[in-house]
Amino acid sequence: MADKIYLADMIEDILDKAEEKLKEETEGGDLKEVAEVVRGEHVRGKPKNPSLWIFTDTVSIEGGITSMREPWTLPLIVVSVVYNSQDPRRGQKNATELAAKARSVLLKSRNLDLQGKVHGVRSVTFEPRGRFEEGGGVFSAACVLNVSFTTLE
């Protein structure tokens, strides 16, 4: 009999792997300009910028359930935050570029190195060039990726 794969454990594994992959690329890779990668729910203090924030949204079941295996989709949201009070155009451009690079990093693996558990990572939406009204020169961009996985309970 196969080992159980619980929903809460899979969500945590997916978030851990996404964070790990993004952090790896900050060490001389495609995201070397990123100062910090943070999980939205694990923030203490004010992160250094530019930063990447990882969040999730509502996890949903895919199709019908035919056995103890359940197919799920987790929306993984990555938001880039850049501070540039001197040049708003460059701040917006940098935020968009970082979110796009983060998206590419997460798409490379297609299963976040969770073989047999994660069945795909695909782009859903991309929101370029946001600006925080209160923050003056703080800019953001975001990508949403759907992560498909299976639980076994």
Asked if residue 47 has pLDDT above 90, the reply is: no
Structure confidence by residue, pLDDT tens digits, 70-94: 999 999 999 999 988 788 888 899 9
| Domains with residue ranges and CATH for the chain | 7-39+49-152 (3.30.2000.30)
Other beta carbons less than 10 A from residue 60's beta carbon: 11
Strand-pairing partners, residue 123, are 145
Asked if residue 1 has pLDDT above 60, the reply is: no
Q: Are 102 and 145 in contact (CB under 8 A)?
A: no
pTM score, whole prediction: 0.91
CA distance 72 to 69: 10
Structure confidence by residue, pLDDT tens digits, 102-150: 999 999 989 999 998 999 999 999 999 776 656 578 899 999 999 999 9
Mean pLDDT within 62-66: 73
pLDDT at 81: 93
67-83 in b/e form (b: 16+ CB < 10 A) is eeebbbbbbbbbbbbbb
Helix (H, G, I), strand (E, B) or coil at 112: coil
Asked if residue 153 has pLDDT above 90, the reply is: no
pLDDT at 103: 98
CA distance 129 to 96: 6
Asked if residue 43 has pLDDT above 90, the reply is: no
pLDDT at 131: 65
